[in-house]
Amino acid sequence: MAYVDGYVLPVPTRKLKAYLRIARMAEAAWRKHGALDYKECVGDDLEVKCGAPFPQAVQLKRGETVVFSYIVYRSRAHRDRVNARVMKELIAQGMPKEMPFDMTRMVNGGFKVAVGATVRGAKKGARRRG
């Protein structure tokens, strides 16, 4: 069953280029170690009429934008293996210790894919459990 790590975070607009440089380095590492997909998405239409908007979830401040990111894996076990390798590599490459955003306002979690198209590299014909 496919597995997704998802992130929503506030990034100061003046630091967005720095964040995206780090994100490109991270994408290369995650893909190298087996992630099936990796996306970094910058907020565009965030004034929604229903539900709680992303800016509210991350306590967005003036001069910040929302970034929504996700990484797709074959399974949770695959995610755990990939992440262990990625963290080791990024530390060795000198990933900055301080991120260009407030990590205490980042929202994240891991999710089992329950509905959706088969992900390339995921087990085909796998039965879905409710």
List the CATH number of the domain containing 103: 3.30.70.100
Specify if 118 maps to a domain.
no
Quick check: is 85 in a domain?
yes
Look at residue 129 in the predicted model and tell me its pLDDT. 40
Q: What pLDDT, on the 0 to 100 scale, is given for residue 122?
A: 53
Q: Which residue range forms the structural domain that includes residue 99?
A: 3-112
> Does residue 59 belong to any structural domain of this protein?
yes
pTM higher than the cut 0.85: no
Low-confidence stretches of the chain (pLDDT beneath 70): 96, 117-130
Question: Per-residue b/e over 86-102, b at no fewer than 16 CB within 10 Å?
Answer: beebbeeeeeeeeebbe
In a domain, 121, yes or no: no
Q: What is the pLDDT of residue 1?
A: 81
Q: How many domains does the chain have?
A: 1
What does the block give as tokens for 15?
Answer: 């630091």
Max CA distance (Å), the chain: 47
The full length of the chain comes to 130
> Which residue, 92, 73, 93, is CA-closest to 81?
73
Indicate whether 61 belongs to any domain: yes
Which of 42, 66, 44, 62 lies closest to 54, judged by CA? 66
- Which pLDDT does position 49 carry in this prediction? 85
Residues 106 and 9: beta-carbon distance below 8 Å: yes
Task: Compute CA distances 94 → 29, 82, 84, 86, 115, whole Å.
Answer: 13, 18, 16, 12, 38
Q: What are phi and psi of 65, to 5 degrees?
A: -130, 160
